[in-house]
Structure formats: C-alpha cells, structure tokens
Chains A and B, each alone.
Chain A
C-alpha cells in the first residue's frame, strides 16, 4: 500500500515537473511576442548562457569575468539582453558606432561615461554579439572566463559530490562494522555496483588503482545528467556540452595511453603475426584508433544528452506550433494533449539514459584502460588458432 502511494507520489511530482517545463516555455515564448521558431528555441535551450533562466521573465544573472585591458567583473544583467537578432543587439551595434564616432580613440573616458546611465545598450563597452558571446566595442582580443550556466552547474555538481561523498566516508569511519544508515545505505549499492559490475569485470586485480577515477566519472556524469532533467531550474545541459565531455574523454585518453604497456604499443606500431603489406594498412588504422576511441566517448555522451534535451523541447514546442504562438488556443490545447504525454514518456526514458550513459562511459573507460594493459597472451591465441587450422 505504502509502495503504491509512493509510486503515485513520484508520478504526480513528475507530471508537475512536466507542467513546470510547459509553463516556463510558454511564458518565455509569449514574452518574445513574435513568431515561434522551434529550431532556434531548441538550439537556444541546449546552448550555454550568461544567465540562469528560472521561469517566465525571472532569471538569475551570473557573474561575467572578462579579461580585456585588465580584469572586468560584473553581473550579466548589466549588459543588454541577448535576443537573437533582436533590437538590443542592433541598438548596441549602433551605440557602439556612435560612441566610437563621438569619442574617437579616447577609450579611458568613454568607459566611465557609459556606466553613468544604466539603460545604455553596452556596459563598459561590452555587449553580446549575434551568437551570444561577449565582445567589446573596439573589437580587440578578449578572454571570457565568465561563470556561465554550465560553469555554475559544474560547480554545483562538484559541491554536491563533495558533500555526499565526504559525509558517506565519515559515516563509514564512525559506524565501522555496523550496517549502513541513511545516505550511506543509498550510496553503498551504487558504489558496489560500479566496482563489481562495471570496473572489476574489465580491470580485474587492478580495480582498486582506477576505482577513484571511475567512481568520480560515473557519479559526475550521472548527477549532471539528472540535474539536466529538472525543468524548473532551466535544464542545465552540462553533459550535453562538447567541452565538458571532451575534458572527461581526455582523462580517459591520458590514463589509457600513459599507463599502457609495451604490448599495447606493439600491437599498434608493429602488429604481431601480420604480413608486411598489411601492416602498411593496419598501422595507420590502429594509430587513428588511439584517438577515435576517446572521441567516440566524447561524442556519445554529448550527442545522447543534447538529443534528449532537443527531443523534449521540440515536443513541448509542438504546442506553440499548433497554437500558432498563442493565436490559436484550440490548436494549442490539441498540441498539448499530444505533446505533454510524449514529453513525459521521453522524460522517463531520459531518466534511464542518464544512468545508462554514465554506466557506458565508465564501462568503456575501464575497458580501454584494461585493453591497454593487457598482458601478452595474444601469441597463445594465434598459436591455438594455427593449431586448429
């Protein structure tokens, strides 16, 4: 009985989350007051941004840290809003042209002149260009180290992981020899799962050496995937960012190749038991394989998560396509009747994908590292094969 109650509670909360996504998108679209462009909306949704959109017109400005003639730190709401191809940008461009005409080359003065009136389209000469990047009016070199939405999410995930794992580790010290309790008993099966089902089948007796890396990667990917499924915090698309996944894949690449033994390199540059003319073909392919494996890891995670976000946002976008962005109310309700159940279904599927992608990334990392350290028993195999022939 309590189990069913809990299940219905979960389903209800998920439905509410679905509606949260619906409302956040609806108010956003209506505030635009222009034709709904599904593709642009989806792309905007999965991209990184300088503000954290919550609901409707409410969004949290994030700090911009820009190095351009010294360090500039300011909140992103000081700058004009980055509407794609909207008036703000054009105004900023016109303003930029104006100020350069008026002030000529006098940069030290006009920076302070602009800060005095708040409604100016550019802040200290900084504004967003068409692709949402921060640029300066003088068009000079600029290093953008801003805490964007993805960076903020990364920090949140890092803090969450530190909190969870230090408290669990402390619990193990405090309750030594006793049964796990609380958060500890939630994390223990997951950690045991990663160790016994994911890492140990591949790495065997070297498991303990790589387990810290594997656990970190697994929980980092899983937690960030799950954070991306919460609509009311604007679905931060952390693992759907190619830079994040490439950093993760780079770790695996370095571990694989730095800890590789001589047989691994031997198999790549001098494959045993292969005639010379085949080596000409095989060596370049094997050499490319060194890089293709981590690149495939990178693309798999990035594309899976990004595709999931785009599918859900496109399904929700159907409401606005059928409703003609608010003109056709009946069409909107019809679209919602189709789109919300589908979006709900996709959200459930994404819960599975979130876990599966963390699992696959960890599993394949363990597999690649294990393959690079495999001891030399390939000759035995080929001898056996020859004996059979």
Chain B
C-alpha cells in the first residue's frame, strides 16, 4: 500500500482517528500524573511534616499535566 492509497483511505472518512489521538494523549497524561502522584506519596512518607506543601504542589503539577490531555480532548471533540 503506497502513501497515496493511505491518504485516500484517510480522506474517505476514516472515523475515530481523533479518538485514537485523544487516547494516546490519555496514556501520556496517565504516565505523567502517575509519576507525580507516586513521587508525592514517597516524599509525604519521607517527610510527613511537609504534607500540606507537597499536596498543593502535587495538585498544581497534576493540573498542568492534565491540561495537556484536555487539549487533546478538545481537539478530538472538534474533529468529531
């Protein structure tokens, strides 16, 4: 299958490409938020007296990562 036929297939209405993209972004965001949560838990266990600060920073970082995944969601919605 050469490039032309692939492009033709894509133009001929391959549905759900945007959904696959959103899924890939969700993988990335999952890894990101998972790492943030994991390290936050580790540092909370190590220094329970810093619990409040760590939690706040964890939420901020998680929100920033999540924002990227939501960009993908918005693009997927726009693409249909």
A359 to B63 alpha-carbon distance, docked (Å) = 10
CB distance from B68 to the nearest CB of A (A): 9
Closest to B70 in A: A303
Q: Closest B-chain residue to A361, C-beta based?
A: B63
Are B73 and A197 in touch, CB under 8 angstroms?
Answer: no
CB distance from A359 to the nearest CB of B (A): 7
A54 within 8 A of B: no
Nearest chain A CB to B49 CB, angstrom units: 16
**A residues 194-243 touching B (CB-CB < 8 Å):** 197, 201
Q: Give B8 Cβ to nearest chain A Cβ, in Å.
A: 25
How would residues 292 to 316 of chain A score, 1 for a CB under 8 Å from any chain B CB and 0 otherwise? 0000100110111011000000000
- Which residues on B sit within 8 Å (CB–CB) of A360? 59-60, 63
CB interface residues, B 58-80, toward A, < 8 Å: 59-60, 63-64, 66-67, 70-71, 73-74, 77, 80
Known A197-B56, A201-B56: A307·B70 in contact at CB below 8 Å: yes
Bin chain A's interface residue count.
10 to 19
**A300 with B74: in contact, given A359-B59, A360-B60, A363-B60 (CB under 8 Å)?**
no
* A9–B67 CA distance with the chains assembled, in angstroms: 35
Main SS class of interface, A:
helix
Contacts A197-B56, A356-B59, A360-B59; A307 near B73 (Cβ below 8 A): yes
Give, as a whole number of angstroms, the nearest-CB distance from A259 to chain B.
21
**Do the beta carbons of A300 and B70 come within 8 Å of each other?**
yes
| With A197-B56, A201-B56: A299-B74 Cβ-Cβ less than 8 Å | yes
Nearest chain-A residue to B22 (Cβ)?
A307
Q: How large is the interface on B (under 10, 10 to 19, 20 to 34, 35 or more residues)?
A: 10 to 19
Cα-based distance from A251 to B29 in the complex (angstroms): 28
Q: Which residue of B lies closest to A310 (CB)?
A: B77
A356 closest partner in B (C-beta)? B59
Instruction: Say which residue of A39, A300, A367 sits within 8 Å of B67 (CB atoms).
Output: A300
Q: Which residue of A lies closest to B74 (CB)?
A: A303
Chain B residues near A38 (CB-CB < 8 A) = none
Closest CB in chain A relative to B50 CB, distance in Å: 13
| A300 lies within 8 A of B56 (CB) | no
Interface contact B70-A304, CB-CB below 8 Å? yes
Chain B, residues 5-32, CB within 8 Å of chain A (1/0): the string is 0000000000000000000000000000
Distance in Å from the Cβ of B33 to the closest Cβ of chain A? 13
User: How long is the Cα–Cα vector from A360 to B59 in the complex, in angstroms?
Assistant: 8
Q: At the interface, yes or no: A364 with Cβ under 8 Å from chain B?
A: yes
Q: How far is the CA of A296 from the CA of B64 in the complex (A)?
A: 9
Residues of A within 8 A of B73 (CB): 303, 307
Q: Contact between A364 and B71 (Cβ–Cβ < 8 Å)?
A: no
User: Contact at A364–B63, with CB atoms within 8 Å?
Assistant: yes
A356 CA to B66 CA in the complex, in Å?
Answer: 12
Tell me how far the C-beta of B62 lies from the nearest C-beta in chain A, rounded to whole angstroms. 9
- How far does the alpha carbon of A302 sit from the alpha carbon of B59 in the complex, in Å? 18
The residue of chain B having its C-beta at the shortest distance from the C-beta of A303 within the complex is B70
Q: Which residue of A lies closest to B64 (CB)?
A: A296
Instruction: Say yes or no: A299 contacts B71, CB within 8 Å.
Output: yes
| Chain B hits for A359, CB < 8 A | 59
Cross-chain contact B67 with A296 (CB below 8 angstroms): yes
Nearest-CB residue, chain B, relative to A46: B77
Max chain A C-beta neighbours (<10 A), residue from B52, B59, B64, B67:
B67
Residues of A within 8 A of B63 (CB): 300, 356, 360, 364
| 15 residue pairs bridging A and B, Cβ less than 8 Å apart | A197-B56, A300-B66, A303-B70, A303-B73, A303-B74, A304-B66, A304-B70, A307-B73, A356-B59, A356-B63, A359-B59, A360-B63, A363-B56, A363-B60, A367-B60
Chain B positions near chain A (C-beta within 8 angstroms): 52, 56, 59-60, 63-64, 66-67, 70-71, 73-74, 77, 80
Interface contacts beyond A303-B73, A304-B70, A359-B59: sample of 5 additional A-B pairs, CB < 8 Å, sorted by A: A197-B56, A299-B70, A299-B74, A303-B71, A356-B59
A-B pairs with the 9 shortest C-beta distances? A303-B70, A360-B63, A300-B67, A296-B67, A303-B74, A303-B73, A307-B73, A300-B70, A299-B70
Q: Name A's B-contacting residues (CB within 8 A).
A: 39, 197, 201, 296, 299-300, 302-304, 306-307, 356, 359-360, 363-364, 367
